[in-house]
Amino acid sequence: MASEKFVKGKRVLVTGGLGFLGSNLVHRLHGLGAEVTVFDLQQKIDSSLDNLKPVEGKVEIVAGDIRDEEKIRQAVEGKDFIFNFAANIGHVKSFDDPLLNLEVNCASHLKLLEALRKSSSDATVFFPGSRMQFGLPASKKVGEKHTQNPLSIEAIHKMAAEKYYLLYYCNHGIKSVVFRLSNPFGPRAPMKEGTHCILNWFLGKALNDEEITVFGSGKQLRDYIFVDDVMDAFVIAMTEDKALGQDFNLGSGKGISVVDAVEKIVSIAGKGRIKKVPWPKDWQSIETGSYVSDISKIKNVLGWKPRHSFEEGIRKTIEFYSQRQ
């Protein structure tokens, strides 16, 4: 496999490496033979190391805050690839402390880019944006050129951070790749709260045979993508110079209504039940309506396509958590 040969021995920094996307990437890269450094907050290192089993002790773990310029300068030194996944997560929560969200989800990215510029780094850096940057879609499928009109503080900051990466590529030659993820789900995502990775929260409720709350009719479409398919895209992008300076919408390219997704979860898990409730005001204010990614660009440029159906992803996620108990 070409990607395995390419990645082996590469020095890779994953900020936020104990989180959902970060930990899945750490496992994938370690399996491909990369030299991986995880950069995350000390409190997460103290409480979230389960996500790094069984690679704990086989990858370097560095405690630090993404807002600390000196820590970032040290962390990026000598790296071939950087995946900057550190974030303050939660679109509704972002209204509670917008300045903290600004520091973590926007200004910290500028600090990292400046560290790369000042050190004349040749590293390639990857930024995971969000489908929430688009706001209310004006088309059935959303492509990269769709107008961005974010509805939350977090989405605004992600949009701004994305622009930094593309600007630094054009103006300073910092090798950058931007992804806008739809709704990823799978192993190692939070199961006990629904501020992000909502599908895992639904799945956690089902596995505990609890009510699964659906806001409104649940008929709006979502584009759920299994995390292994996301990792495929990241690894392919590492190997392709064609990815540099580009932005890619990353989803399954298929829509399923929220209520149908929950019904499939209940059917596959054999547990749980749906409870429809009115939209809470704070959640309704950021609701985008139906969203499905147009993934034509990433297919054409990188040759990537998703390998898993929605149902396969749900089954694999259930299997992962069943083995973890």
Q: Which residue pairs, CB below 8 angstroms and at least 24 apart, start in 48-55?
A: 48/18, 48/19, 49/18, 50/324, 51/18, 51/19, 51/20, 51/23, 51/188, 52/17, 52/18, 52/23, 52/26, 52/27, 55/26, 55/27, 55/30
- What is the arithmetic mean of pLDDT over 167-184? 97
Name residue 141's amino acid. Answer: K
Which has the closest alpha carbon to 179: 105, 101, 231, 103?
231
**For residues 261 and 199, is the Cβ–Cβ distance under 8 A?**
yes
Residue 22 lies in a domain: yes
β-bridge mates for residue 274, sequence order: 212
pLDDT band at 221 (very low <50, low <70, confident <90, very high): very high
| Strands 221-222 and 256-257, sheet pairing | antiparallel
Q: Report the range of poorest mean pLDDT among 10-24, 45-59, 107-121, 128-142.
A: 45-59
Residue 48 lies in a domain: yes
- What is the arithmetic mean of pLDDT over 276-303? 90
| Strands 247-250 and 175-181, sheet pairing | parallel
User: What integer pLDDT is reported at residue 13 of this predicted model?
Assistant: 98
Tokens 């309506």 map to which residue?
289
Q: Report the range of poorest mean pLDDT among 4-13, 93-102, 165-174, 303-312.
A: 93-102
Which has the closest alpha carbon to 245: 177, 179, 296, 161?
177
- What is the arithmetic mean of pLDDT over 205-223? 94
- Other C-beta atoms within 10 Å of 38: how many? 28
Residue 163 lies in a domain: yes
User: What integer pLDDT is reported at residue 164 of this predicted model?
Assistant: 97
**Measured distance CA(272)–CA(284) in Å, rounded:** 24
- What is the arithmetic mean of pLDDT over 116-129? 96
Q: What is the per-residue pLDDT across 8-57, written as a single tens digit (0 to 9) for each? A: 999 999 999 999 999 999 999 999 999 999 999 887 777 678 899 889 89
Residue 29 lies in a domain: yes
Q: Which residues contact 235 (CB under 8 A, 6 or more apart)?
A: 3, 7, 28, 29, 32
Residue 52 lies in a domain: yes
Q: Identify the three-state secondary structure at position 66.
A: coil
67-282-132-183 Cα dihedral, nearest 10 degrees: 100
Residue 265 lies in a domain: no
**Measured distance CA(193)–CA(298) in Å, rounded:** 31
Angle, CA of 247, 130 and 228, to the nearest 5°: 85
The domain containing residue 125 runs over which residues? 2-185+227-252+293-307
Which has the closest alpha carbon to 216: 277, 169, 263?
277
- What is the arithmetic mean of pLDDT over 248-276? 97
* CA–CA distances in Å: residue 175 to residues 16, 78, 299, 315: 20, 15, 21, 37
User: What integer pLDDT is reported at residue 284 of this predicted model?
Assistant: 76
Q: Read off the CATH number of the domain in which 158 is found.
A: 3.40.50.720
Q: Tell me how many domains the chain contains.
A: 1
Residue 314 lies in a domain: no
Q: Which two tokens stand for residue 145?
A: 């050129």
β-bridge mates for residue 129, sequence order: 180
Q: What is the per-residue pLDDT across 67-108, written as a single tens digit (0 to 9) for each? A: 999 999 999 999 999 999 987 776 667 667 889 989 999 999
**Measured distance CA(84)–CA(13) in Å, rounded:** 8
Task: Examine the pLDDT at 325 and tell me if it is beyond 70.
Answer: no
Residue 300 lies in a domain: yes
Task: Examine the pLDDT at 227 and tell me if it is beyond 70.
Answer: yes
User: What integer pLDDT is reported at residue 280 of this predicted model?
Assistant: 86
Q: Identify the three-state secondary structure at position 164.
A: helix
Q: Identify the three-state secondary structure at position 125.
A: strand
